Amino acid sequence: MNHAPFAALLALLSAAAPPETPEAMARGEDRMRDFCFACHVFEPGPGVTNPLHPRITPEKWGTYEKAYENIGNLSRIRPQMSHAFRGNDEDRKALALFLAKLGRENVVPWWRVALPYAGLVLAVVLAGGFLLGASRRSRGRA
Nearest to 42 by CA among 130, 109, 102, 119: 102
38 binds ligand HEC (CB under 6 A): yes
Nearer of residues 50 and 135 to ligand HEC, judged by Cβ: 50
Nearer of residues 33 and 136 to ligand HEC, judged by Cβ: 33
**What mask of x and - would describe binding to ligand HEC in positions 122 to 141, judged by CB under 6 A?**
--------------------
Site for ligand HEC in 73-102 (CB under 6 A): 74, 77-78, 80-81, 83, 99
Nearer of residues 38 and 120 to ligand HEC, judged by Cβ: 38
Nearer of residues 11 and 107 to ligand HEC, judged by Cβ: 107
Smallest separation (angstroms) from ligand HEC to the CB of 86: 9
SS (H, E, C) the chain: CCCHHHHHHHHHHHHCCCCCCHHHHHHHHHHHHHHHHHCCECCCCCCCCCECHHHCCHHHHCCHHHHHHHHCCHHHHCCCCCCCCCCCHHHHHHHHHHHHHHHHHCCCCHHHHHHHHHHHHHHHHHHHHHHHHHHHHHHHHC
Binding-site ranges for ligand HEC (CB under 6 A):
35-36, 38-40, 50, 52, 55-56, 71, 74, 77-78, 80-81, 83, 99
